[in-house]
Structure 1
Amino acid sequence: MLTIEDIKGKEFKKTTLRGYNIEEVDNFFAEVIKIMDTMDQEVKDAKIHALNLSDSLQYYKSMEQTIQNALVSAEKVAQETKDTATEQSKTMIDMAIEEAKQIKDEAETTASTLLEEAYKKEKIIKEASLESLQRSKEELIKVTHIYKEFKEKAMTHISEQLTKVQNDSEITKIEERIKTMAWDNCDEEKESTDTVYEEASFITNNKLEEVPYDEMEVKKVAGDINTLINDAMNELDIEIS
């Protein structure tokens, strides 16, 4: 490979006429031309390669820009996605909180309604119980009054009947009659209400006003007839043996 130094140091042999050897000069220049051609081609190739490299560089620069743009776009999309997700998450959380609040409010309202209904039912039951107790009390008072009235009228009637008696035989008959009625009424308190009522009317010799009392009331009164007669006899000093 011919170098610059070779060219600078090249010496040609002089001829007898003090000239250079033509063949050596021609050979040298031929070699120089060949080398220069090669170098020229290499320069051309280098330029082409450089141009190609420049194009490639431009392409890669363009790709770099595209990539940068893509990255920027991706970052933007990612940020937008993040912001959207954050907003959606916040919205969902707010909706969940609101829904939970509504469920809680509905549950509290339902519980309050049920509790109020329970209180009302409890009040109704208590009032019904109180009314029932009051009715029972009134019935008891009514029966007590009936018993007292019946006792007073029976005693009055017995007293009137005994006053009319003039001799011992009549007194004995009345005593036997009263005794029979007392025992009959003790047995007949297990019978129907009409029978008890008729016996009670018979004892008073049909002097009492026959009022059709309630069946339970009549049964209660009939149960006390024996005691009533005995009390009347004791108060009138009549012994039933």
Structure 2
Amino acid sequence: MVLSPQDIHNKEFSTKLRGYNIDEVNDFLDQIIKDYQIILEENKDLRSQLSESKDKLSYFNDLKDSLNQSILVAQEAADKVKNNSKKEAEITNREAQKKADDIVKTASDKSTQILEEASKRAKKLAIETDDLKKNTRVFRQRLQVMLESQLEVIKGSDWDHLVEDGPTTTYEDIEKVVGDLDKAINSDVESGNKQGSDESADNGSSNNDDLQTVVIYPDDQKNNN
């Protein structure tokens, strides 16, 4: 059992012959009591400080555990947010890629359709142009035949006979000559028409317009003038 200052103060010693000086012993005990009292108070203060330190240490340990737990929770939340963000980014990227592919496919299909339609129109225009050229060649040949026939008629001796100076020719004679010339012209024109029709058939033209052959006679030319 630890002595208290009061125990030291109340301690009594027996006396013997040639023993210690009682007053000196008492003075020393008083000094010991004071020093012991100081030591006890300091010890009490140290115990109090130690208790407070232990409380603080326990508080900081609890705080450390709480902070560590908070850090773990924050780390888990950050990892979760990171994973979710990564998944959302991947989904967004796939959707954007799909939209881009759809846009490219739509544009490609539309451009292909436009090119096909343009190609069809070009082919149709080429066919129509070719048909027009064929019809133009046929018309030119028929016109050439007609003009050459009329030119031959104009250069013929029968025509000179009609207009030469001499005895008066009867109306019946003129009508007979004109009839013979008309037959010759019609024969030449029909020959030219047949030749042009045969060429048109050989070239595969099926929509030629019917062209009328016009023969100009001297009387018509005179009336026109």
In structure 1, the partner of 2:78 is 78
Give the aligned residue type for 2:56.
S
Counterpart of 2:166?
169
1-structure distance, mates of 2:111, 2:16: 137
Structure 1 segments of 4+ aligned residues over 2 angstroms from their partners: 15-20, 140-159, 168-171, 203-209
Query: 1:91: which partner in 2?
Result: 91
Shift of 1:214: 6.9
Alignment length, in residue pairs? 171
Secondary structure in 2 matching 1:20: coil
Query: Is there any run of 5+ residues in structure 1 with no aligned partner, and where?
Result: 1-14, 174-202, 226-241
Identity %: 21
Who is 2:113 aligned against?
Answer: 113
CA displacement, residues 137-192 of structure 1 (integer Å, 9 cap, x when unaligned): 33234325545765788799938x96x9xxx9349x9xxxxxxxxxxxxxxxxxxx
Alignment CA distance shift 1:134-1:214 (3 Å): closer
C-alpha deviations, 1:173-215, integer Å up to 9, x for none? 9xxxxxxxxxxxxxxxxxxxxxxxxxxxxx9479849xxx979
Residue matched to 2:12: none
| Partner-residue secondary structure (3-state), 1:78 | helix
2:27 corresponds in structure 1 to: 27
Residue 108 of structure 1 aligns to a residue whose secondary structure is: helix
Question: In the superposition, relative to structure 1, how do residues 204 and 49 fare at CA in structure 2: closer, same or farther (>3 Å)?
Answer: farther
- Output the CA distance in 2 between the equivalents of 1:102 and 1:114: 18
Q: d(CA) in 1 for partners of 2:81 and 2:63?
A: 25
- More contact order relative to length (CA 8 Å, sep ≥ 6): 2
Q: Distance in 2 between matches of 1:64 and 1:45?
A: 28
Tell me the TM-score normalised to structure 2 length: 0.60
For residues 1-241 of structure 1, what are the structure 2 equivalents within 5 Å?
17-144=17-144, 146-147=146-147, 158=158, 169-170=166-167, 204=178, 208=182
Q: Which amino acid aligns with 1:110?
A: K
- The answer for unaligned runs of 5 or more in structure 2 is 1-14, 170-176, 184-209, 218-225
User: What is the alpha-carbon distance in structure 1 between the residues aligned to residue 66 and residue 147 of structure 2?
Assistant: 117
TM-score, normalised relative to structure 1 = 0.56
Structure 2 equivalent of residue 183 of structure 1: none
Deviates more, 1:49-58 or 1:29-38: 29-38
Give the corresponding residue for 1:182. Answer: none
